[in-house]
Amino acid sequence: MICGAALPGEAKSMTVISLDAGFAAELQSAGFECLGITPAVDSGGFSNLLDWLDAGYAGSMDYLASRKDAYRHPRGVLPQARYLIALAKPYHASDHHPVGRGHGKIARYVWQGADYHDVIHRDLKPVCRRLNELHNPHRFRAVVDTAPLMEREVAELAGLGWRGKNTLLLNRTWGSYFFLAVILTDAEIRLDFPHCDPNDSEPGDSEPGDRELGNPTHSYCGTCTACLDACPTDAFVQANVLDARKCISYLTIEHDGWIDPGLREGMGDWLFGCDVCQQVCPWNRKRGRREQIETAGHRLTSLSPRELLQLDEAEFRERFRKTPLWRTRRRGMLRNAAIVLGNIGTRDDLPYLRQGLQDSEALVRGACAWAMARIDPIASPEILKLRLSMEADADVRHEIEQALRVCRRGSFAS
């Protein structure tokens, strides 16, 4: 699906670089099904980003505030940036992979196993190298969500889709199950091949120029609020505004500390990430071309919390070093594993939690204490009291004391 529109009728001060059908074919062969261009302009959502940061909704993601000024314009990533090529690469999102008994769920974007940053950079590196060689002295640089760039806004301006109420970009063919990437350039470019409406199921229904370049695509969400209503932790302040501090994806991936006890039950059996607001979206439930996207092996559709709690640092590194789970590190994943067991576990899981109660990481010990009280408030106090008598970490002691209160009541309360 190639997206774009006619260039503005402004006077040209430099040669326009034409990107032909061969360029598009190369990208599509690498899995980039949507492609569009937009001029580099000041971010229309920059003030909203500042308000979002000031409200504290970023949680512990301090890196966003530390480089917030760079988000104002794409020049914060590439000086003299003039045009941007927005790309979307769909990933496997079938519903036909049930989670095994006692396993925790993994967000769909992880199922391929490999870190998508590595995969996309690998696919785009030769493309950018050839563009730089062919069009020297102009520069072409590819980025994948780690640079200070408003990627979803860029993709919307380039015609790849519209911003859903859950803040994710939506496309009528691919829903929201796709990765975004952007190629920035200091050149003026055009797509020298037939364009199409990015939200039509079939290409060729519209001509170049139907949509003014750099204008957002029409929203097709209508009055639907399924994504907002389904969030297990009520993370949406309102449509298009997410409080990351309550988001399960943030809690299980980005947040490296203690998780608010009031949010743990809402995490359910999500070990890493969350797809709830995407699963309920009608555009993701629509059968279409996204069903064709396959990932060999589907290595990480779910994981056993029991197995995670038995991994030492070296074993965890060996197993997950090249996967997205490495971002959370061992301490975060074992914390998540303990919370999942606290939500779905049985007495058969207590030996694994007892092992975690002796872990070298305070974060893991505290989460295991919480889970034990949830599963068995009758048998757990003796074990928890013994651990409390030798525990030196103040935060863990607090978790154990809270867990003992739960055991005395026989039910969980934060």
Question: What values do phi and psi take at 183, rounded to 5?
Answer: -105, 120
CA 39, CA 156: separation in Å to the nearest integer? 12
Tell me the chain's radius of gyration from C-alpha atoms: 24
What CA dihedral angle connects 39, 185, 77 and 324, to 10 degrees?
100
Q: Identify the three-state secondary structure at position 171.
A: strand
Query: What secondary structure does DSSP assign to 17-66, as a single string?
Result: EEE-HHHHHHHHHTT--EEEEEE----TTHHHHHHHHHTTTTTT-HHHHH
Q: Would you say how long the chain is, in residues?
A: 414
Residue with tokens 């970023």: 58
CA 75, CA 69: separation in Å to the nearest integer? 11
Q: Strand pairing of 34-39 and 140-143? A: unpaired
Spatial contact of 236 and 166, defined as CB atoms under 8 Å apart? yes
Phi-psi region of 334 (alpha: psi -120 to 50; beta: other; left: phi over 0): alpha
What CA dihedral angle connects 253, 91, 209 and 163, to 10 degrees?
-30
CA 34, CA 296: separation in Å to the nearest integer? 22
Tokens read off for 96:
């036909």
Spatial contact of 259 and 249, defined as CB atoms under 8 Å apart? no
Is 145 a catalytic site residue? yes
Name the strand (E) or helix (H) holding 143.
strand 140-143
Residue with tokens 């979206």: 281
CA 368, CA 381: separation in Å to the nearest integer? 13
**Which of 62, 69, 95, 145 is an active site residue?**
145
Any idea which residues carry the catalytic annotation? Answer: 145
